[in-house]
Structure 1
Amino acid sequence: MSSSPIAPDQALHRLRQDGFKVEIRDQHLLVHGVPFVTAQRVVRFGTLVCLYLQEGDQITPPNGSGDNHQMWWTEEYPCYPDGTVLDLGSDTATRELLPGLTIRNRFSSKPDLYHVTGYPNHYEKVVYYVRMIQNPAKAIDADVDARNGVITETQSAESVFRYPDTASARASILALSAKLAVQRIVIVGLGGTGAYVLDQVAKTPAGEIHLFDGDIFKSHNAFRSPGAASLAEINAREPKTDYYKRKFDPMRRGIISHPVFLSEHNIQDLSGFDFVFVCVDKDEARALIAKYLVEQGIPFVDTGMNLELIAATNSLIGTARATLVSPTRPETASECLPMGKEDDDVLYRQSIQVADMNAMNAALAVIKWKQLLGFYSDTFRSYELSFAVNFGTISRKPCAQDPDD
C-alpha cells in the first residue's frame, strides 16, 4: 500500500488554499495540527481522518463514500474550555486504522443543513469538524489555528495495485491488509484450484506472486478458472503462467511467470519465498515439493479435491481440502498429505473438477494463509479445513499435536 501526492480536487484545493495541513494517505484524507482542549483544560493538537476514495480519475464525495459524516480522531476526546466533553457522537475505539496511524475516537456529526443529504464535499466536512473542535481551544489560546499554512504531500513506495484499493479503505482494514503486503508467495500449479488461488491473492497487497506451471492454457482450463477466455486466447496455446500474468496485469504489478514444472533439477527455485500454495495433481510432485519446503522452513498450504460420480444417483460427492504446514508443525506434511499412499483424499482421483469446487478449495487455502498471518482470527488453530459437498459442511482438524497443547 502506498501514499500518493495530493490529487486534483476542488474541495481539496480549497483546503490547501485555506492553509490546512492536509495529507492523502491510503485512500484517506488526514488533517493535521487541529487544536483541541483536553479534559485537563490544556490545548493540544490532533489529526482528523476520513475516507478519500478515488474511483478512476474521480474523487468520491463524502455523501457517496460510505462514511458520509464520520471522522476519526487520533487523540483523546476533545472538550469545552471548562473540561466537559463536546458532543460529536463519540465512538471510542483505539486501533490502527492505517499502517502507522492509530486512531482513538470516531465522530459522527453533521449540521442540520446536511442532515439528510450529508456533506457535499470534503471541504465542508473538514471545516465543520475543525470549527467544532478548534473553537474551544481558541477560547483558551486565540493564536492556535488548524490553518497553519503547512502542506504535506506524502509519497512512499509504489503500490502493487495499478489503481487504489478502495474496498479495503471503505472497510477500514488497510492496516490489517498490510500484514499481507510483506509476503513473496508462490503458486505451484495453475489448474482450476491454483487459478482461483491467484484470483484471490492478486487482490491482496502481497509484494510478489510467482507462478509455476509448465502446461499451456487449453479450453478445459477456461471452464474451471476465473473470468472468460476468448477463442483466440485458447488457440494461442499460451503457457498458463503467461496467460494468467497477462490477465491480472491490468490490476496489479508483481506477478512473475515461471512456465516450468518443478522437479528435482529446479526445486531450489522455491528457496527464499515466504509462503507457497501447492496446487498440483500428482502425488509424486507433491511429495517432492513438500519435502523441500519442510527442509527450508517455508510454510505452505497443500490443496486437494476428490469428486466421485455416484452412478445410482447420477450425482457427485466429495470434498475439497486445504492443509497448512508450518515450520512449527512440520510433521503435518507426513501425517496428513496424500503423497503416494492409498488415501481417499488423493487429488483428482477421477480427474473430476468443477469450477465452484475449485473456487471453494482455493478459498479454504487462502483463508489458512491469512489466518497464519493474523489477518483472520483462528480460534481453534486448525491446520486443515475440508468442505464436503454432499453434507454441505466445513470441518476442521489439527492434524498434528500442537506443542502448546
Structure 2
Amino acid sequence: MPLSIVVIGGGAAGFFGAITAAETFPGATVTILEKNRTVLNKVRISGGGRCNVTHACFDNRQLVKHYPRGEKWLRSLLHQFDAVATVRWFENHGVQLKTEADGRMFPTTNTSETIVNCLLDAARRLNIQVQTSCGVSTLQKTPSGWQLQLLTGETLRADRVLVATGGFPQLTAYGWLPDQAEPLLSPVPSLFTFNVPDNPLLPLAGVSVADARVSISGTRQEQRGPVLVTHWGFSGPAVLRLSAWAARDLAAVDYRFTLRINWVPTLNDNELRLALHDFRQQNGRKQVFSQNPLGLPSRLWQALSAEAGILENQRWADLPAKSGNRLIERLTNSQFQVAGKSTFKDEFVTCGGIALGSLDPQTLESKTQPGLFFAGEVLDVDGITGGFNFQNAWTTGYIAGRHIGL
C-alpha cells in the first residue's frame, strides 16, 4: 500500500505542504481536505486581490523581526526555506515576482489568480486529490495510522496528517485535535484597525500622514509609519503593526485604551517649538489655519489648530502663548479613546494556536503524536502586514511536506 498523506486545510500552507510532500515522496497518495466550497480563498483576496507573496527581506535575521510571535523559532526554519527560496520556487513554476518600493512582492501580473493557478496546476500535475466541502470533525490515532471523521459522515484513514487549517477564533474550535505536548495558546485577533467613536477627526476620513508615531498609553508599545484617518477611527501600516505587537495586551483590556499619536515624530518638543517660532517670525501677518509649516495635510493641520482653540482668522503674530502650547501638545501628543477594533479588510490573522514547544523544531511533527504535522497560521506564529504571514505559510508548509513521509 502506498503511503497515504492527508492535508487538512486548502490554504497557502496546506497546498504548499501537499505539493512539497508529493514532490518529495512520489510514491505517496496526497489528499487535501477543505471545509469550504473553494480553496485558496485567502490567497485570492490578499493584497487587494494581488497576493502579497512575500517580502524582499533576504537577511533572515532581519526577516524574523517582523513576527511579533515566533521570531526565534522561525529563524531556524528559514535555513530550510526562506524568502529567497520562495522567489526561486515560484520562478521555477512559471511565476515572476516584482518588488514594490516598500519591499512587498507581488506577481508581475498584479493578480492573485496567478498564484492560485500556479498552486492548482502544481497540485494537478502531481495528482493531488482536492476535496472541498469536506470538514473534519474528529482526528484519532489508530494502531495503523490516523482516522478522520468528516462532517459529511464519511471516514478516512491516513498514514500521516498535516494540519494547515489556519487560525481559529475560539479555543473550542481546536477541540477535534489530539492533545499536544503543551496547552493550546488562546487565540486572539491580530492586524486590526482601531475604533474611536468619539474621534473629532472622523470628518477627515481618508486623510493620511506618511510618518507618525502611534503608541498605547501606559505601555512601551509604539510603532512609527503611515497613519490613515478612517470613518471609524484609525488604520494604516503603523496602526496595524501596533495591533499585531500589542495583540494580547489589547485583548486583555477588551480593546479599550488610550491611543497617542505624534504627528511630527521627526522633531522633539524643543525642535518643534523653535520651528514654529521661526515660522511665526517670518509669517506673522499670515493666518495660522492657512499656513502650515510642517507639511501635514491641510485639513489635519486645521483640525488640530481648532482643537488647540485657535480661531480661523487668527494671525501667527497674534497667536497667544497658551494656544501655541496647546497646538504643540496636539501635534506631539494627540490622545484618543479607543473603544473596539475592526478587521483590516480581509487580511485578518490570529495570534495563538498550537504551542511551538509541542513540535519538533526541524520537522514540525508533533512531539506527542507521531505522524501528525502542523503548518501555517494554526501555529502560534504571526507576522505584520507585508507578505510575512504568507512567508510563514510557505516555510512551514515546505518543511512539514519535506519530512511528512519519512
Shared fold per TM-score greater than 0.5: no
Greater fraction of residues in helix: 2
Higher relative contact order (CA 8 A, sep 6+): 2
TM-score per shorter chain, which class? under 0.3
After TM superposition, the score normalised by the length of structure 2 is: 0.25
After TM superposition, the score normalised by the length of structure 1 is: 0.25
